[in-house]
Chain A
Amino acid sequence: MATAEKKSHALAPDTLKDFLREMLLIRRFEEMVEERFRAGELPGFLHVAIGQEAVAVGVCRALDDGDVIASTHRAHGHTLAKGTHPNELMAELYGKIEGCSHGYGGSMHLYDVERGNLGANAVVGGGLPAIVGSALAFKLRSEPRVAVAFFGDGATNIGTFHESMNLAQLWGVPAVFVLENNHYAESTPAKQQLPIDDLTKRADAYGMHAMKIDGQDVEVVYHAAKKALKHARDGKGPVFLHVETYRLTGHYIGDPQVYRPKEEVRELRRTQDPVEKLRSALELPDGEWEAMEREVAEIVEGSVEFAKAGTDPKPEDALKNIYA
Chain B
Amino acid sequence: MAEKLLVEAINDCFHVELERDENVMVMGEDVGRAGGVFRATAGLRDRFGPDRCVDTPLAEAGILGTAVGLCMAGWRPVCEMQYDAFSYPALDQLITHVGRYRWRTGGGMEFPVTIRMPYGGGVRAPELHDDSPETYYVHTPGIKVAIPSTPADAKGLLAAAIRDPDPVVILEPKLHYRTLRGEVPEGEHVTPLGKARLAREGTDLTLVAYGSMVPLSEAAADALAGEASVEVLDLRSLKPLDEEALLASAAKTGRVVIVQEAPRVAGFAAEIAAVLAEKAILDLQGPVLRVTGYDVPYPYWQIEDAYMPSVERVVDAARKLLAF
Say yes or no for B226: interface residue by CB 8 A criterion. no
Q: Give complex CA distance A145, B35 in Å.
A: 31
Q: Is A42 among interface residues, defined by CB-CB distance under 8 A? A: no
Instruction: State the CA gap A160–B104 with chains docked (Å).
Output: 21
B97, A130: Cβ atoms under 8 Å? yes
The answer to whether A129 and B68 touch across the interface, beta carbons within 8 angstroms, is yes
> B102 contacts A132, CB within 8 Å?
no
- Complex Cα–Cα for A109 and B97 (A): 10
Q: Assess the B105–A101 pair: CB atoms within 8 A.
A: yes
Whether B221 is near chain A, meaning CB under 8 Å from some CB there, is no
User: B66 is contacted by which of A101, A111, A133 (Cβ under 8 Å)?
Assistant: A133
| With contact pairs A123-B96, A133-B70, A136-B69 given, residues A167 and B104 touching in the complex (Cβ less than 8 Å) | no
Most chain A CB atoms below 10 A, which of B70, B104, B165: B104
Q: Are A119 and B104 in contact (CB under 8 A)?
A: yes
A111–B105 touching, CB < 8 Å: yes
Contact A133 B67 (CB under 8 A): yes
B189 to chain A, nearest CB (A): 22
The residue that B166 contacts in the complex, of A113, A138, A323, with Cβ under 8 A, is: A323
Q: How far, in Å, is B18 (CB) from chain A's closest CB?
A: 14
Interface centre among B66, B104, B108 (most CB of A within 10 A): B66
Contact of B102 among A68, A128, A163, A323 (CB under 8 A): A323
Complex Cα–Cα for A130 and B63 (A): 9
Closest to B166 in A: A323
Question: How big is chain A's contact interface, by range?
Answer: 35 or more
B102 & A136 in contact (Cβ 8 Å cutoff):
no
> Which residues of the partner chain A approach B165 to less than 8 Å between Cβ atoms?
323-324
Residues of B50-100 contacting chain A, CB below 8 A: 51, 56-57, 59, 61-62, 64-75, 89, 92-93, 96-97
Contact A166 B74 (CB under 8 A): no
Q: Enumerate chain A residues within 8 angstroms of B141, measured Cβ to Cβ.
A: 322
A169 to chain B, nearest CB (A): 11
A164 interface hit (Cβ, 8 Å): yes
The A147-162 residues at the B interface (CB cut-off 8 A) are 147, 159-160
Expressed in whole angstroms, the Cα–Cα distance for A235 and B70 within the complex equals 18
Contact among B69, B106, B109, B110 with A129 in the assembled complex (CB-CB below 8 Å):
B69
Q: B123 to nearest A CB, angstroms? A: 28
Question: Are B166's CB and A129's CB within 8 A?
Answer: no
Q: Pick from B56, B73, B103, B107: contact of A134, CB below 8 A.
A: B73
The answer on a CB contact under 8 Å between A113 and B108 is: yes
> Are A129 and B62 neighbours in the complex by a CB distance under 8 Å?
yes
Point out the residue from A102, A105, A130 that lies within 8 Å of B69, measured CB to CB.
A130
B156 at the interface (CB under 8 A from A): no
Asked if B57 and A166 sit within 8 Å, CB to CB, the answer is: yes
Q: Tell whether A101 pairs with B106 under 8 Å between CB atoms, given A129-B62, A130-B97, A324-B166.
A: yes
Name the one of A133, A167, A324 contacting B68, with C-beta atoms under 8 angstroms. A133
Chain A min CB distance to B145 (Å)? 12
Q: Is the beta-carbon distance between A324 and B110 smaller than 8 angstroms?
A: yes
Q: Which residues of A contact B109 (CB under 8 A)?
A: 111, 113
Give the residues in chain B near A138, CB-CB below 8 Å. Answer: 73
CB of A191 within 8 Å of the partner chain? no
Chain A residues whose C-beta falls within 8 Å of the C-beta of B166 in the assembled complex: 323-324
Q: How far is the CA of A134 from the CA of B75 in the complex (A)?
A: 10
Q: Say if the beta carbon of B4 comes within 8 Å of chain A.
A: no
Measured between alpha carbons, how far is A167 from B59 in the docked complex, in Å?
Answer: 9
A35 to chain B, nearest CB (A): 26
Judge whether A9 is part of the interface by a CB distance below 8 angstroms. Answer: no
Q: Bound state CA distance, A46 and B14, in angstroms?
A: 45
Nearest residue in B to A114 (C-beta to C-beta)? B108
Task: Compute how far the CA of A134 lies from the CA of B65 in the bound complex, rounded to whole angstroms.
Answer: 10
Is B129 an interface position by the 8 A CB rule? no
Q: Are A132 and B62 in contact (CB under 8 A)?
A: yes
B103: chain A residues within 8 A (beta carbon) = 104, 320-322
B28 adjacent to chain A (CB < 8 Å): no
- Given the contacts A133-B70, A136-B66, A322-B141, A167 and B56 also touching, CB distance less than 8 Å: yes
Are B93 and A129 in contact, with the CB atoms below 8 A? Answer: yes
Contacts of A33 in B (CB 8 A): none
Contacts of A68 in B (CB 8 A): 72
Output the least CB separation between A88 and chain B (Å): 12
Interface residue? A296 (CB, 8 A): no
B215 at the interface (CB under 8 A from A): no
A103, A133, A322, A324, most chain B CB atoms within 10 A: A133
Enumerate chain A residues within 8 angstroms of B102, measured Cβ to Cβ.
Answer: 321-324
A133 and B72 within 8 A (CB): yes
Bound-state Cα–Cα, A122 to B230, Å: 50
Return the chain B residue nearest A131 by Cβ. Answer: B69
Query: Is there an interface contact between B57 and A135, defined as CB atoms closer than 8 Å?
Result: no
- Interface presence of A292 (CB below 8 A): no
Contact between chains at A167 and B73 (CB < 8 Å): no
Query: Within 8 Å CB of B56, what residues of A?
Result: 167
Q: How far is the CA of A147 from the CA of B72 in the complex (A)?
A: 12
Interface residue from B65, B74, B101, B110 paired with A128 (Cβ < 8 Å): B65
Output the least CB separation between B286 and chain A (Å).
35
A sample of 17 cross-chain residue pairs with beta-carbon separation below 8 angstroms, ordered by A number, consists of: A101-B105, A104-B103, A119-B101, A126-B93, A126-B97, A129-B62, A129-B66, A130-B69, A133-B67, A133-B69, A134-B69, A136-B70, A137-B69, A160-B93, A321-B105, A322-B102, A323-B166
Closest 10 CB pairs of A and B: A129-B65, A133-B69, A137-B73, A163-B62, A102-B106, A324-B165, A133-B66, A134-B69, A130-B69, A163-B59
Q: Beyond the given A111-B109, A160-B62, A324-B164, could you list 7 further A-B residue pairs with CB under 8 A, ordered by the A residue number?
A: A122-B96, A128-B65, A129-B64, A132-B62, A137-B72, A159-B92, A321-B102
Give chain A's interface residues, CB within 8 Å of chain B: 68, 101-105, 109, 111, 113, 118-119, 122-123, 126, 128-138, 140-141, 147, 159-160, 163-164, 166-167, 170, 320-324
